[in-house]
Amino acid sequence: MIEQEKIVAPEIVSCEVCFKEIPISEATSVKATDYIVYYCGLECYDKWKKQDEDSESSKNS
């Protein structure tokens, strides 16, 4: 009898910015203090980073 290999679906995460679902192996991640955020690419990471910088500058004003 021939055993079939089980196909394992890749672990999926959502992009922090656009919420696109992507395999974790393809995601870009940033480790924060207590969690990890994932991005589908550099464009979404840049948007997130700019949003974070804008919110910090408005706190200091």
What are 6-60's pLDDT values in tens digits? 888 889 999 989 999 999 888 888 876 678 889 999 999 999 889 878 877 776 6
Domains of the chain, start order: 12-57 (2.30.170)
CA distance readout (Å), 33 to 9, 11, 37, 47: 29, 23, 11, 20
Structure tokens belonging to residue 31? 């480790």
pLDDT in tens, 43-58: 999 998 898 788 777 7
Q: Please, which pLDDT band fits residue 61 given cuts at 50, 70 and 90?
A: low
pTM of the model: 0.62
